[in-house]
Structure 1
Amino acid sequence: MTADRSLIARLAAHESWAKTADPSARTAPARRALLDRFERQVDPDGVLPPSERARRAGHARKAYFARLALRSAQARRKTPDVVDGNVRPSRRDEDKPQ
């Protein structure tokens, strides 16, 4: 079942991280790949000096995550909170006089 697969995968992930001596070293290649992505985005031909490329890549990364945050906020405003099948009022609704 899908729920079982999800739980099994979560269990395996926790066991794997429990055996990891240096989590930072384990995730370093992924962090480097993410930064490289933004450097390629702002300087695809590699002509900028390293300091300028890094500065621009930093701004591109901040813009990317700000865009994600904006989309997340917009999606949360569209979707009502549902708990136990009951729709909770949003925070905006709580501020309104009844």
Structure 2
Amino acid sequence: MSATPAERKLAAQIAAHESWANTTDRSKRTAKARAALMAKFEQQADPEGKLLPAERALRAEHLRKAHFQRLALASAKSRRITKNAKATAEKAEAELRALGGDAA
């Protein structure tokens, strides 16, 4: 019998937690990924390679900050939408109960 998508997800999460629990140097483990992301921002900041390294690094850092702020904004919007949807659902269930309906 094959695992369901939910079971596969749980198994992957368990493996990830165990892997991180056994990682002694978290910074070293993620260094290549951080370097690759910064290289991506440097390429965006200076696609033709004409800037001085210090200027390229400065612009790349601004692009990195903008990227993470964009993610934070999207997360905040998602949380707000979820909160509003939950409030709307709770209000509808309360109205249904008040009318004698079953909201369960």
TM-score by length of 2: 0.71
Q: Compute the displacement of 1:45 (Å).
A: 1.2
The residue aligned with 2:17 is 14
Name the Cα RMSD after superposition. Answer: 1.9
Counterpart-to-counterpart distance in 1, 2:14 and 2:76:
30
Large movers: runs of 4+ above 4 Å: none
Task: Map 1:69-88 to 2 at 5 A.
Answer: 69-80=72-83, 82=86, 87=90
> How far 1:72 sits from its partner (Å)?
2.0
Deviation at 1:60, TM superposition (A): 0.9
* Partners of 1:87 and 1:5 in 2: CA distance: 32
Amino acid at match of 2:63: A
Structure 1 residue 19: Cα displacement = 2.2
- 1:23 equivalent to 2:26? Answer yes
In structure 1, list runs of 5 or more residues that go unmatched: 89-98
Partner of 1:36: 39
Distance 2:39 2:90 in 1: 43
How far apart, in 1, do the equivalents of 2:90 and 2:37 lie?
38
| Rg (Cα) greater in structure | 2
**By percentage of residues, which structure has more strand?**
1
Structure 2 gaps, min length 5: 92-104
Deviates more, 1:68-77 or 1:34-43: 68-77
